[in-house]
Amino acid sequence: MTKILAIETSCDETACAVVEDGCSILSNIVSSQINVHSLYGGVVPEVASRIHVENISAVVQEALKQAKVSMDDIDAVAFTEGPGLIGSLHVGVQAAKTVAWAFGKPLIPLHHITGHIYANRYVSKLKFPLMALVVSGGHTELVWMANDWDFKVIGTTRDDAIGEAYDKVARVLDLGYPGGPAIDKLAKQGHPHYTLPTPKTSSPYDFSFSGLKTAVLQLAAREKKNGREVSPEDLAYCFQETALQSMVSKTIAAVENHHPAMVVLAGGVAANSRLRELMSEKMNAFQDIDLIIPPLKCCTDNAAMIGAAGYIAYQHHQFGDLSVSADPGLTMPGEE
Ligand code: KG4
Ligand code: ZN
């Protein structure tokens, strides 16, 4: 049995987990800063790194305690090297390096998105070739994996990430931060009352959400100027349908053309109930392709997902050394 201590601090969650063989969670501590950042309507990077510094030691100790293990039982220390907020990442990287150095353990630096994808190992054994739709606050990507630990980004966003668009639209509707869950809930009571432009890109698997976001902002401003009340439910519904229908149809086109053995959803926006519903509906047409939709707690940032990816990286001998530092613009393994 391989036990990995995993640390994740790329944004506003201070997280540490102990994971066995990348598929069994012994502990998974997530200390969220949402209450603080929601006061400002979004993540304040300086504040995030300061809170990480204050919490990281206690979070790591708690993860070991809840897993009922000591550092002697741990085989390697995995951590998020990037991408993310530089100050936030830095705290996790320093913590991982300190622990690894003090206890003589190998270090496994990871790309945050590999964690989101491998979180699906807590649901099922992965089958390759695999297509992942990665949807988070910082990423919107179609990742093709011909084999285990083999990543090729075949589609990406040309501008905003989908989670970012959700958060910005939520701000217009005064729904607080993070906006995704609030829009998800509100849209359930909405109707197709407004017409919004379908996102267009020249490449078939690329995404774009900034035009749609701007159209929502302009529509809200226009209605207000004309003395009409905007219906938050209808606007949430129309934004969500336009964004998701476009994204899901591109994903299905990629599935049709590449024919993977498995499709997985990954990232915070994978918690969205309408996206889960749409993907399940559309994938019904592909009886020979498995669809994995991770449970909600595996979608948003946590360290168990870093432990899952860390185990595979460990098997592939992807170790780092003490010279590694936080890389806010890190690209996927194998990418330019
Ligand atoms: O993966 P994640 O926790 O952090 C990043 O790596 O970015 O994703 C956070 C994003 C936020 O933009 C949040 O609004 C969005 O995920 N999100 C959702 C839902 N739950 C979280 N978006 C839509 N519907 C949801 N239910
Ligand atoms: Zn994430």
31 and 73 inside one domain: yes
150 and 64 inside one domain: no
Residue 43's pLDDT band (boundaries 50, 70, 90)?
Answer: confident
Tens of pLDDT, residue by residue over 212-222, are 999 999 999 99
221 and 244 inside one domain: yes
CATH number at residue 262: 3.30.420.40
Of the candidates 246, 237, 185, 176, the one whose C-alpha atom is nearest the C-alpha of residue 210 is 246
Ligand 1 center to 299 CA (angstroms): 8
Pure H helices in the chain: 34-37, 45-67, 86-103, 112-118, 162-172, 179-187, 210-225, 232-258, 273-283, 296-299, 304-315
What is the mean predicted confidence (pLDDT) over 226-233?
94
| Domain membership flag for residue 16 | yes
pLDDT at position 336 is 65
Residues within 5 Å of ion ligand 2, judged at the Cβ atom: 136, 301
Residues 250-278 as b/e (b if ≥16 CB within 10 A, e otherwise) read bbbebbeebebebbbbbbbbbbbebbbeb
Indicate the pairing of strand 130-135 with strand 107-111: unpaired
Bridge partners (DSSP) listed for residue 142: 133, 155
Place of tokens 């309507």: 41
68 and 129 inside one domain: no
Q: Taking all residues of the chain, what is their mean pLDDT, rounded to a whole number?
A: 96
| Domain membership flag for residue 331 | no
d(CA 322, CA 209): 39
What is the mean predicted confidence (pLDDT) over 100-124?
97
151 and 280 inside one domain: yes
145 and 48 inside one domain: no
Which atom of ligand 1 is closest in space to residue 137's alpha carbon? 7
Lowest mean pLDDT among 27-41, 116-130, 178-192: 27-41
pLDDT of 51 > 80? The answer is yes
Q: Report whether 326 contacts 30 (CB < 8 A).
A: no
93 and 148 inside one domain: no
| Domain membership flag for residue 214 | yes
71 and 166 inside one domain: no
Instruction: Identify the nearest ligand to the CA of 139 by its number.
Output: 1
**Domain that residue 15 falls in:** 3-118+298-315
Tens of pLDDT, residue by residue over 73-83, are 999 999 999 99
What is the mean predicted confidence (pLDDT) over 259-277?
97
254 and 308 inside one domain: no
Which atom of ligand 1 is closest in space to residue 112's alpha carbon? 6
Question: What residues are in contact with ligand 1 under a 6 Å CB criterion?
Answer: 11, 136-138, 163, 166-167, 178-181, 184, 267-269, 271-272, 300-301
Tell which one of 136, 169, 301 to mutate to probe ligand 1, the residue whose CB is within 8 A of the most ligand atoms: 136
| Total domains, the chain | 2
| Domain membership flag for residue 330 | no
Ligand 1 center to 163 CA (angstroms): 5
| Domain membership flag for residue 325 | no
Which atom of ligand 1 is closest in space to residue 301's alpha carbon? 3
Tell which one of 116, 134, 166, 241 to mutate to probe ligand 1, the residue whose CB is within 8 A of the most ligand atoms: 166
| Domain membership flag for residue 322 | no
155 and 289 inside one domain: yes
Tens of pLDDT, residue by residue over 55-68, are 999 999 999 999 99
What is the mean predicted confidence (pLDDT) over 105-133?
97
Ligand 1 center to 137 CA (angstroms): 5
Residue 209's pLDDT band (boundaries 50, 70, 90)?
Answer: very high
d(CA 117, CA 89): 19
pTM as predicted = 0.95
133 and 282 inside one domain: yes
Find all residues with CB under 8 Å of 241, minimum gap 6, and list them: 187, 192, 274
176 and 289 inside one domain: yes
